[in-house]
Each structure stands twice: as C-alpha cells, then as structure tokens.
C-alpha cells in the first residue's frame, strides 16, 4: 500500500474508533443520572424509541425507565451530540480562517452577541424558558457575526485574518459591557441569564433540539464544503488566488458556517469554554493540517468531549450535578496546558 493510502486508511480507522467511543458515551449519558439504568435497559428503550413511527421523542413510555430515557435523557444527549459537533467544527474553522491557534467561538464576538440579545430578551420580555430566549441568542450571534465581518472588510474590501481578530475583540468587549449593564438592571433576568451563560444541556427538551437542528445541519454542510478552499487559503491569499480559489467567496462560505454552527449551539446550551479551542488541536494531532479530515475529526471530538463532560458532571456531584460548561473548564484547562507542554500541537 502506498504511503498516501496508508494515511487515508489510518484516518478512516480513527474516524470509526471515534464513532465507537462516541456510541459508548451516548449509552453512558442515557444510563447515568440520579437514577442509573443498566445498559440493556437503555439499549432496549433506545431501540423502541428509534423504531417508533411517531419519532424517538414522541414514542409513548411504557415504563418509568422509558419515561426517563425518552423524556429526559435522550433529548439531552441528542442536543449534546449535535452541539458538540457544531462547536468542534466551529473551532477548526475559526482557527483556520484567522490563522490563530488560540481562536475559538468567543474570538469573533459570536458568544458575546448571543449573550447580549439573550439577556435583553430576558429583561424586556421576561423570558425564562430556553425555547423562548434561544431565538434571541441565535439572532445576537448572527448580528455580531455580520458586524465583525463587515467591520473587518472596511477599507481594504476584504476580511483578512488580522482584521477579523481585531474587529472580533472590539465587538466582544463592547457587547460584554452592554450585557453586564442589562443583567444588573433586573434580578430575575440575572437569575435566568446566569444559568444559561454557564453552559448546560440540562433542562432542554426535544423542542430546543428541533429548533436548532436545521441551522446546525446547514452549517455542517457548509463547513464540509469549505474544507478544500480552506486548505488552499492556509497557504496564503495570494497563493490560493493563483490556484484558482475565489478567496472572498470561500471565506464567506466558511464564516457563514461558523455563524450558523456557533450561533445555534451557543443559543441552545450557552457559551461553552475550551471545547472549540481544544477539540481541533486534538484532532490536528491525528489528521495533520488537512481540513477535509480535520473538520469531521474536530466535530466528533467535540461531541465526545461535551457528552463525556456532561456525564462526568452528573457523577462528581451526585445527587446534584455540575453544569457541562464548568466541567469542560475544569477538565479542559489542565489538559490543554499539558498538551502544550508536551509540544504536541501541530502548526496551522
């Protein structure tokens, strides 16, 4: 077998291994909680739910275990999966387009935009349920992305990596100040906001999952489509243009994918630290700089990390639980520091 074929085979094997680990994490997420269930019970309930004509979330429960699995843990796990994939892919895309290995969803002002409009909706309209303020958060991320990309393109007519970073930093600082002003005006808004901003998949029902799924699906397709162009953009704009790439269009497609993926995921579960930063670096260690492989690897690693952190949060604080945002920060910070110290980071 040629070296190229060997690399491709190793990458495919890695994807299958990741998918298997993710399947184990899904079973653990559904089985572990205040009331733990056996893997056999979980698999039986999942089989019944997935073959139900009305859909997995609408299938009538025949036992207490079915009610726990289908009504509570299955929607929560499904949301963790799709949001983990979205945030992992977002991190890979942002690091590629900004050519900054320390980039994540917060760098371009998307998290700050989602937080500001979510807090504003809570304050002005008294929104308390996730399915209510999720649209404000998504709109905030979308508007923040448009402002950042527009500001970065002023003058030169194109959004360069440096201008994106600078515009994102400026917008983030401004929106964070506005958010702080809003949440200090009303105690009830502050109470709702602080549970969202910490980052959690708890308390989200199937309605939240279905609301964000179309945006996440479209963003995923656009992210995969942007991968070949991003490989060439990593060589520099001039080289990519000389190889026939429409630099502006390629960057616009990728950044639109970032807004859709990050906006929908952040709106659903809140700003989650470290996931978009760590997942691409772990993936890059296995795939190298090829974004055709890096993006799907980052998505699977993101889903695995988010699901595993959610399970760990239920275990360490029983009978209560720690939010997934807290667990990712606790686990992700020392892990990333150790990763850097061992010099395992592959350059962009």
- What lies within 8 Å, CB to CB, of 333 at 6+ separation is 274
Chain position carrying tokens 């979980």 = 42
Residue 184 within a domain: yes
Instruction: Check pLDDT > 90 for residue 201.
Output: yes
309, 252 Cβ separation under 8 angstroms: no
Residue 348 within a domain: no
pTM over 0.85: yes
- CA pair distance 74, 3, nearest whole angstrom: 42
Instruction: Check pLDDT > 80 for residue 339.
Output: no
Closest CA to 44 of 13, 68, 76, 22: 68
The CATH number assigned to the domain holding 190 equals 1.10.3470.10
The end-to-end CA distance of the chain, in Å, is 28
So what's the pLDDT on residue 66? 80
Average pLDDT over residues 92-115: 87
Residue 347 within a domain: no
- CA pair distance 153, 160, nearest whole angstrom: 8
Instruction: Check pLDDT > 70 for residue 217.
Output: yes
Give the range of the structural domain holding residue 92, as residue numbers without chain letter. 3-341
Q: What is the pLDDT of residues 52-91, one digit of tens each?
A: 777 777 777 777 888 888 888 999 999 999 999 999 999 9
Residue 41 within a domain: yes
Q: What is the 3-state secondary structure (H, E, C) of the chain?
A: CCHHHHHHHHHHHHHHHHHHHHHHHHHHHHHCCCCCCCHHHHHHHHHHHHCCCCCCCCCCCCCHHHHHHHHHHHHHHHHHHHHHHHHHHHHHHHHHHHCCCCCCCCCCCHHHHHHHHHHHHHHHHCCCCHHHHHHHHHHHHHHHHHHHHHHHHCCCCCCCHHHHHHHHHHHHHHHHHHHHHHHCCCHHHHHHHHHHHCCCCCCCCHHHHHHHHHHHHHHHHHHHHHHHHHHHHCCCHHHHHHCCCCHHHHHHHHHHHHHHHHHHHHHHHCCCCCHHHHHHHHHHHHHCCCHHHHHHHHHHHHHHHHHHHHHHHHHHCCCCCCCHHHHHHHHHHHHHHHHHHCCCCCCC
Residue 346 within a domain: no
Share of the chain above pLDDT 90, in %: 47
Q: How many domains does the chain have?
A: 1
Average pLDDT over residues 225-237: 89
- CA pair distance 342, 344, nearest whole angstrom: 6
Residue 22 within a domain: yes
């Amino acid at each position: 077998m040629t070296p190229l074929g060997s690399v491709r085979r190793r990458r495919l094997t890695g994807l299958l291994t990741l998918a298997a680990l993710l399947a184990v994490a899904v079973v653990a997420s559904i089985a572990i909680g205040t009331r733990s269930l056996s893997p056999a019970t979980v698999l039986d309930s999942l089989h019944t739910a997935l073959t139900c004509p009305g859909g997995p979330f609408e299938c009538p429960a025949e036992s207490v275990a079915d009610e726990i699995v289908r009504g509570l843990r299955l929607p929560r796990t499904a949301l963790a999966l799709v949001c983990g994939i979205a945030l992992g892919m977002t991190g890979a895309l942002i690091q590629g387009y900004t050519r900054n290995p320390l980039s994540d969803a917060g760098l371009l002002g998307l998290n700050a935009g989602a937080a500001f409009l979510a807090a504003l909706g809570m304050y002005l309209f008294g929104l308390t349920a996730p399915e209510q303020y999720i649209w404000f958060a998504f709109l905030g991320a979308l508007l923040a992305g448009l402002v950042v990309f527009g500001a970065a393109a002023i003058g030169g007519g194109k959004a360069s990596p440096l201008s994106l970073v600078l515009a994102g930093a400026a917008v983030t600082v401004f929106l964070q100040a506005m958010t702080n002003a809003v949440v200090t005006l009303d105690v009830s808004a502050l109470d709702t906001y602080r549970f969202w901003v910490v980052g959690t998949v708890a308390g989200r029902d199937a309605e939240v999952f279905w609301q964000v799924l179309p945006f996440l699906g479209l963003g995923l397709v656009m992210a995969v489509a942007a991968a070949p162009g991003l490989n060439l953009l990593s060589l520099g704009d001039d080289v990519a243009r000389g190889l026939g790439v429409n630099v502006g269009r390629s960057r616009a497609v990728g950044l639109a994918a970032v807004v859709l993926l990050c906006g929908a995921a952040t709106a659903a579960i809140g700003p989650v630290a470290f996931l978009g930063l760590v997942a691409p670096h772990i993936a890059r260690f296995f795939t190298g700089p090829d974004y055709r492989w890096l993006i799907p690897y980052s998505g699977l690693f993101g889903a695995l990390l988010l699901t595993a952190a959610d399970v760990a949060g239920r275990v360490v604080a029983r009978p209560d639980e720690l939010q997934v945002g807290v667990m990712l920060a606790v686990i992700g910070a020392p892990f990333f520091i150790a990763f850097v110290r061992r010099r395992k980071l592959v350059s962009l």
